[in-house]
């Protein structure tokens, strides 16, 4: 199994433009960079120049938001560092097939709670999931908190950050992976759906479920049967239920 190399000095953010430029040049894994509105300086121009060739997410925010994160002299820039290195899906997927295994992958669409992410990773590691795919925007990315909740599983299971989930779903389908959306908007019960072959499960957020554009692309949709009055399970619990079912079918 590929182990994610932990990033050095495991703080969740660094500040100050020179420090951030050095982090980018040292290929540290950066989740996102906040840039303060209206800050103009030679250093800031240099940072923007360095960022031009990179796929790092940047957000422009008001000074109040920056000051809530740190009161120290950030010079208008704060970078959130990932405690692990992400891995490209196009390297992870061929390796699964090379090992003679049937891919078992999770795609998390708009799961924004880092503890849910950690919890899903922990179950995934226990259940032989090969990789977890996260969109680069609108999703929890890996933080120290997520690693802690995952009981270290996030250091063991490949995490792939993808900039375009539509393309990623298509890529998986082209590779012979059946994409299955977990949603209440279907009559297909989980246990009545064949999940033995290569499969990627899409889980959505508690509030909105899986995005309609991704559901449209799914080869199959499944729902977990509910017997109570609450509408849905926590996403981490739902993810575990589906993992259990995939393994139950594969071990039959």
Give the 3-state secondary structure of 66-133.
Answer: HHHHCCCCCCCEEEEECCECCCCHHHHHHHHHHCCCCCEEEEECCCCCHHHHHHHHHHHHHCCCCEEE
pLDDT above 90 covers a percentage of the chain that reads 85
Grade residue 224 by pLDDT with cuts at 50, 70 and 90. Answer: very high
Q: Which residues, listed in sequence order, are joined to residue 160 by a DSSP beta bridge? A: 133
CA angle 145, 150, 252 (to 5 degrees): 160
Span 153-165, average pLDDT: 95
Residue 146 has phi, psi (to 5 degrees) of: -65, -40
* CA pair distance 186, 172, nearest whole angstrom: 22
Question: CB neighbours (10 Å) of residue 81?
Answer: 22
Nearest to 84 by CA among 143, 131, 39, 134: 143
Q: Please, which pLDDT band fits residue 202 given cuts at 50, 70 and 90?
A: very high
Per-residue pLDDT, averaged over 9-19, amounts to 82
First vs last C-alpha separation in the chain: 24
Q: What is the pLDDT, as a whole number, of residue 3?
A: 53
Res 99 pLDDT > 70: yes
pLDDT of 7 reads 47
d(CA 44, CA 17): 7
Q: What is the DSSP letter of 7?
A: P
pLDDT for the residue 206: 81
What confidence score (pLDDT) does residue 11 get?
A: 60
Which CATH topology does 13-81 take? Answer: 60s Ribosomal Protein L30; Chain: A; (3.30.1330)
CB 224 within 8 A of CB 182: yes
d(CA 125, CA 130): 8
* E strand segments, 125-232: 131-135, 159-162, 178-182, 199-203, 220-222
Second-level CATH architecture of 89-251: 3-Layer(aba) Sandwich (3.40)
Question: At how many degrees (to 10) do helices 235-251 and 114-126 cross?
Answer: 10
| Residue 66 confidence (pLDDT) | 93
**pLDDT tens digits, 121-156:** 999 999 999 999 999 989 999 999 999 999 999 999
How far apart are the C-alpha atoms of 107 and 131, rounded to whole Å?
9
Say whether pTM exceeds 0.85.
yes
Q: What is the mean pLDDT of the chain?
A: 92
Mean pLDDT of 34-44: 94
Q: β-strand 178-182 against 159-162: which pairing, if any?
A: unpaired
Within the chain, all domains assigned CATH 3.40.1280.10 are found at 89-251
CATH 3.30.1330.30 maps onto the chain at 13-81
Q: Band of the pLDDT at 105, cuts 50, 70, 90?
A: very high
Residue 4 binned pLDDT confidence (cut-offs 50, 70, 90): low
Give the lowest-confidence range in 4-13, 22-31, 36-45, 207-216: 4-13
Q: Measured between alpha carbons, how far is 86 from 75 in angstroms, rounded to an integer?
A: 28
On the CB side of 130, CA atoms within 13 Å amount to: 23
């Amino acid at each position: 199994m590929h182990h994610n190399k932990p990033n050095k000095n495991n703080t969740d953010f660094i500040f100050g433009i020179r420090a951030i430029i050095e982090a980018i040049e040292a290929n540290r894994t950066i989740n996102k960079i906040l840039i303060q509105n209206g800050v103009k300086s030679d250093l800031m121009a240099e940072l923007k120049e360095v960022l031009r060739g990179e796929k790092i997410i940047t957000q422009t925010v008001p000074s109040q938001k920056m000051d809530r994160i740190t009161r120290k002299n950030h010079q208008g820039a704060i970078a959130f560092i990932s405690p692990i290195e992400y891995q490209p899906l196009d390297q992870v997927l061929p390796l699964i097939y090379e090992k003679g295994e049937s891919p078992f992958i999770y795609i998390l669409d708009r799961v924004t709670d880092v503890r849910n992410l950690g919890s899903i990773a922990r179950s995934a590691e226990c259940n032989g999931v090969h990789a977890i795919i996260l969109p680069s925007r609108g999703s929890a990315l890996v933080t120290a908190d997520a690693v802690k909740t995952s009981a270290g599983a996030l250091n063991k299971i490949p995490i792939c950050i993808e900039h375009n989930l539509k393309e990623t779903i298509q890529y998986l389908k082209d590779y012979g992976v059946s994409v299955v959306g977990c949603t209440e908007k279907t009559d297909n019960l989980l246990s009545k759906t064949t999940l033995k072959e290569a499969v990627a499960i899409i889980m959505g957020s508690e509030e909105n479920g899986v995005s309609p554009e991704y559901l449209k692309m799914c080869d199959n949709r499944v729902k977990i049967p509910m017997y109570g009055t609450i509408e849905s399970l926590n996403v981490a619990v739902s993810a575990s239920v589906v993992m259990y079912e995939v393994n139950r079918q594969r071990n039959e």
